[in-house]
Amino acid sequence: MKDIKSDVSRPQKVLLAGATGYIGKYVCETLLNRGFEVLSLGRTTINNENDHNFEQISIDLCSDKEMVEFSQSGRQIDAVISCLGSRAGGRKDAWDVEFGANQNLLNLASTIGAKSFVLLSAICVQKPKLEFQFAKIAFENSLIASGINYSIIRPTAYFKSLAGQIENLKAGKAFVMFGKGVETACKPISAQDLSDYICDCVEDPERQNKVLPIGGPGPSINPTEQGEMLFRLLGKKPKFSRVPSTMFHVISTIMAPLALISEKISDLREFVLIGHYYATESMLFWDAKIQKYSSNKTPEYGSDTLESFYREVLKSGLDGHELGDQKLF
């Protein structure tokens, strides 16, 4: 454990939003292990009261009023970390959380004089086509313009997002891929490696005032290779089912007129568009000069491998790596 208390020039108290989420839980634990004091703000509470460095306040991050009231409470905070993300994934929720709640956090950070703001964003915002991506970018821009020291972290896919088919394969089903299963790739990163990277940003000036795309240890992997790896670990003969990604396009076109008159259908159509995006776009650095994704230019961090994650999940199940809305992928 690093002894941060003996160095008063280093950040001591971190406000964490999203501590109940998949990555936020790891970030919270990593901060506490490093000796930081953690103040968690959010609507859901965590059972962590035995750690005297941990405090939580139940607050609606989307409520401007509650957040302004809190900012007048005289709290001293050195750094803010946001691991927020829309749980529902619909168009309105995306703006409420990815933009609105983060903007409230930024206002709070400015009012209480926090020195830095670390934002967990996503690499897919490089080529925005979806509502949640536009909301994320709007906040990234607001953060950059605010004048506070910022670190905008844009990770590639999380290991858990590549684990949605494990139970099906165990049950003897085929691995489902879009297109030929080689059109997209990512450099997946583990939750612990990403959390270490996020927490380093609080202390490392080299990581501040930068947009940081980040992947796990390479090389990049495509869906066919993911399926082959899983079948090898399961000791089963590979069996693939190929679905044309144009399927999403056809469904979204059919839904388009109804989406204009119904918010529910508009959200359903957004999920179809999200499906199409992940079936056709890589989670790698987008090289705008050559208009191509580049595996080589996607920075790597950490040491956990997807293969070791798959081995662990095959042995012990997905406990702690719940897939949420990413189940399909």
Ligand X SMILES: NC(=O)c1ccc[n+]([C@@H]2O[C@H](COP(=O)([O-])OP(=O)(O)OC[C@H]3O[C@@H](n4cnc5c(N)ncnc54)[C@H](OP(=O)(O)O)[C@@H]3O)[C@@H](O)[C@H]2O)c1
**Binding region for ligand X (CB under 6 A):** 18, 20-24, 42-44, 61-62, 83-87, 97, 101, 120, 122, 155, 157-158, 161, 324, 326
CB of 9: closest distance to ligand X in angstroms?
30
Among the listed residues 84, 63, 59, 69, the one whose alpha carbon sits nearest the alpha carbon of residue 143: 84
Return the number of the residue (21 or 90) whose C-beta is nearest ligand X: 21
Least separation in angstroms between CB 91 and ligand X: 14
| Residue (39 or 255) nearer to ligand X, CB | 39
- Angstrom distance (rounded) from CA 166 to CA 317: 9
Write down the least CB distance from residue 59 to ligand X, Å: 8
Tokens coding 109: 């950070």
10 or 55, CB closer to ligand X?
55
Give the residue closest to ligand X by C-beta.
Answer: 21
Task: Output the smallest distance, CB 87 to ligand X, in A.
Answer: 5
Which residue, 94, 118, 93, is CA-closest to 105?
Answer: 118
Supply the minimum distance, in Å, between the C-beta of residue 237 and ligand X: 29
CB nearer to ligand X: give 16 or 202. Answer: 16
CB of 256 to ligand X, least distance (A): 25
Rounded to a whole number of angstroms, the minimum distance from the CB of residue 288 to ligand X is 20
Least distance (Å) from ligand X to the CB of residue 230? 17
Shortest distance (Å) from residue 55 CB to ligand X? 16
Q: Which is nearer to ligand X, 133 or 266 (CB)?
A: 133
Give whichever of 104 and 255 is closer to ligand X, judged by the CB atom.
104
Residue 161 vs 220, nearer CB to ligand X = 161
* Beta pairing class for 292-294 and 13-17: unpaired
Q: Which of 56, 86 has the CB closer to ligand X?
A: 86
CB-based burial of residue 81 (10 Å sphere; 0-12 exposed, 13-18 middle, 19+ buried)? Answer: buried
Choose between 229 and 328: whose C-beta lies nearer to ligand X.
Answer: 328
HEC sequence for the chain: CCCCCCCCCCCCEEEEECCCCHHHHHHHHHHHHCCCEEEEEECCCCCCCCCCCEEEEECCCCCHHHHHHHHCCCCCCCEEEECCCCCCCCHHHHHHHHHHHHHHHHHHHHHHCCCEEEEECCHHHHCCCCHHHHHHHHHHHHHHHHCCEEEEEEECCEHHHHCCCHHHHHCCCCEEEECCCCCCCECCECHHHHHHHHHHHHHCHHHCCEEEEEECCCCCECHHHHHHHHHHHHCCCCCEEEECCHHHHHHHHHHHHHHCCCHHHHHHHHHHHHHHHHHHCCECEEECCCCEEECCCCCECCCCCHHHHHHHHHHHCCCCCCCHHHCCC
